[in-house]
Amino acid sequence: MTQAAADAARTAGKTALIVVDVQNDYFDGGAFPLWQARETAERLVPPSPPRAGSR
């Protein structure tokens, strides 16, 4: 068994997809604003690069 195959076998079934649904209610001006919500969101979701054709 190659090292790559051994690594794949060891990590099989140990991969996860984490989905964070960022809600406006938890930011300033929302129904339930949280402490440092904007700073936390910036760490979770880095800014997207500008899309072609956008200004």
Residue whose C-alpha is closest to residue 20's, from 3, 37, 33: 37
Segment 29-48 mean pLDDT: 85
What pLDDT does residue 55 have?
61
Could you tell me the residue ranges of all domains in the chain? 19-47
Chain segment 1-27, per-residue pLDDT in tens:
788 877 777 777 777 788 877 788 988
Q: CB atoms < 10 A from the CB of 21, how many?
A: 4
Q: Is the pTM of the predicted complex or chain greater than 0.95?
A: no
